[in-house]
Chains A and B, each alone.
Chain A
Amino acid sequence: MSLIELKNLYKTYHLGEVDVPVLKGISLNIGCGEMVALMGVSGSGKSTLMNILGCLDRPTSGEYWLEGEEVGRLSSNFRATVRNQKIGFVFQNFNLLPRTTALENVMMPLTYTAQHMTERQTRRRATEMLERVGLAERMHHHPSQLSGGQQQRVAIARALINQPPLLFADEPTGNLDSRTSEEILHMFQKLNEEQKITIILVTHDPEVAHHAKRMIRIRDGLIVDDGAAESATAEGQGVA
């Protein structure tokens, strides 16, 4: 069974009188444990698609099935629960709470659902997560005291704290130098292989896309290419 199933998905923004169609009929299947790179030029609709896949937004029309559930039509409260339980986000600009320790940043998602856990338990879970991303020493540092790569690792730990089956990363390496980017991408690969977490990477960098097993290319709101990463990368390099 596939984890994600999109059927003829449309998204149209309305700017006053003008309709701006961004996604124009996307159908897609992503199975459990895949690692997918979503590629395309700027303005092609990658982020828009990711927002819908991440249950932050609703499609204008079409169906979106996540783990056998039609989530495209859910109300915002149910989508919030789905986000909390099934989805982790990693952002380009990390989005950590300022003047808040790494540990508390990682604990934050638990406050919304894990009501059965005590403060001690959430703390222990967050500590484990930070250890897993190699930040055991930086537990009580504020974001301003961490490097970009460390901040992104805190963000990954935060995304994983609810043990979601699905992880979205929108340009996760956009603000990092190439060596740190490599570290972060290796971490994604490890998570994908060892814990079978499905990862969807949004990027326009072929180097980044290279780390994925599968690559989906979008142009003007339509999927123009869907295949194994090696060939796609070659093609992408060819285009560039």
Chain B
Amino acid sequence: MMKLLRILLIALRALKRNPMRAGLTTLGIVIGVAAVIAMMEIGTGVSQEIQRTITDMGANALMILPGTAATGGVSFGAGSSVTLTPQDCDAILRECPAVRWAAPVVRARAQLVYGNKNYVPWQINGTTPDYLQAQNWADLAEGEPFTDKDVRNASKVCLIGQTIVRELFEGESPIGKELRIHNVAFKVVGVLPRKGANMMGFDQDDLVLAPWTTIKYRVTGSPLASANQSSAASGTSNTVNTLNQLYPLSQLQLYPVQSAVQQADTPLPVRFTNVDQVVVSAQSADQIQAAIRQVSDLLRERHHLRGDTSDDFSVRDMTQMVAVLSSTATLMTKLLLFVALISLIVGGVGIMNIMLVSVTERTREIGLRMAVGARARDILRQFLVEAVVLCLSGGIMGIAIGRGCSMLIRQFLHWPVEASWLAIMAAVAVSASVGIVFGFYPAWKAARLDPIEALRYE
């Protein structure tokens, strides 16, 4: 310990004799390390940002879409058949252990009216409170989420995103206000937190959430008559409950409206209440594959698909997209890191160059040190330690400057930046090894000198 301190002290004294040169020599290392640190910090920042965006879209999210309807060879595209039911969703939640949350989604596109303003949001989703969990909306900015009871009762309540607040409410609190969706009055019970644009550039805050029953039966206007499951679930009454007669809609009726008695006499063919999609969230990222398998098996069984009948639904997950995005970011970081490493090597060569000059210049000193009893290995160690001290102090300065740069970038460009201990440790290790590698040859040359010739050197 004592000895190490002594050696360090000698190296520092030697470097102090030419501070300007020492400073300029380390500059290469300073720049190299600063670049490495800044790159790593920005790189980790970006990948964390990507991670966050993905979590925003729904942690470990899966999307189940109904299958493709095809008639006479004409395909109508994914989601065009009506095979998914809310009961499927309940079953998934109940029977798939890898699934944490599952929520049905009914989509609508309608005009919002508040006071004298109107607006058409990007998404109006009818769903259950689970949706908030599955899509990471759970921390409401204001108010309370709607409840399962609201879903059962098809209550006219809704949650709105930040964009809607901005478009319609202009600074006043929307909580408790009446908002008309497709001419149906909804009470705003909560405001969703801000998420910003998603990876595809869509504004995720441009969103209204309401109980799916409300959207399905009151907004998009499918009559409850076609939803015999819910009437069977809720109804002990013999009369067929047609809510659309209670709340008449301004939709054009193609066929003469039947009276309740007529409907009871001639029951319509049974149709399921369908939903547009089911969002599912797996227990954890590594359970996603298990969740996909369990959901697929369950749905095939529920939809009575046997043998090689193809699925009438499709399950999509984000893994692929996540992988693409992360690999792009990693690739960029690696590339920049590579460039930064090259500058480190250039810095190392600079150190070697100056150390060689220094050895030549200090030949007499080396001779003298040998004359007073320095062994070859003492000389080797001295010059090696000098090189390492140069590199390490350059490295430490580089870390400070690199951190400073990434702080500035965060301050002024608002890029995500994440301090990386790994990068700092790597920078210290790399600069020390650059010192050893590039300091070795000059040190070895110094140690090999003959004391008599070195003393005589002019």
Contacts and interface: CB of A to CB of B under 8 A. Distances in A.
B113 interface: no
A76 B375 contact: yes
- Counting contact residues on chain A (CB < 8 A from B), the size range is 20 to 34
Nearest to A51: B452
B104 to A, nearest CB: 78
B107 interface: no
Interface stretch (B42-50, B319-327, B363-371): B363-371
A83 interface: yes
A118 B5 CA distance: 10
Nearest to B451: A56
Interface string A28-65: 00000000000000000000000100101100000000
B378 interface: yes
A85 interface: yes
Contacts of B2: 115, 118
A117 B2 CA distance: 9
B364 A95 contact: yes
A119 interface: yes
B455 interface: yes
Given A77-B376, A112-B375, A97 B6 contact: no
Interface in B296-314: none
Given A115-B2, A118-B2, A98 B17 contact: yes
B13 A80 contact: no
Interface in B1-55: 2-3, 5-6, 9-10, 13, 17-18
A191 to B, nearest CB: 17
A73 B197 CA distance: 82
A93 to B, nearest CB: 9
Interface in A73-102: 76-77, 80-81, 83-85, 89, 91, 95, 97-100
Nearest to A88: B372
Give the interface SS of chain B, mostly helix, strand, loop or mixed: helix
A109 interface: yes
Nearest to B364: A95
A99 B368 contact: no
Nearest to A161: B372
Nearest to B18: A99
B372 A100 contact: no
B14 to A, nearest CB: 9
Nearest to A81: B373
A89 B372 contact: yes
Given A56-B452, A76-B375, A95-B455, A111 B6 contact: yes
Interface in B205-249: none
A113 B364 contact: no
Contact of B13 (A51, A57, A76, A100): A100
Contacts of B373: 80-81, 83-85, 109, 112-113, 162
A136 interface: no
Contacts of A77: 375-377
Nearest to A94: B368
Contacts of B165: none
B405 interface: no
B371 A100 contact: no
B6 A95 contact: no
Interface in B71-128: none
A83 B287 CA distance: 73
B17 A83 contact: no
A5 interface: no
Interface of B: 2-3, 5-6, 9-10, 13, 17-18, 364-365, 367-378, 451-452, 455
13 contacts: A56-B455, A57-B452, A80-B374, A80-B375, A80-B376, A83-B371, A84-B372, A89-B372, A95-B455, A108-B372, A109-B373, A115-B2, A162-B373
Given A98-B17, A111-B6, A112-B378, 6 more contacts: A77-B375, A77-B376, A80-B376, A95-B364, A95-B367, A97-B17
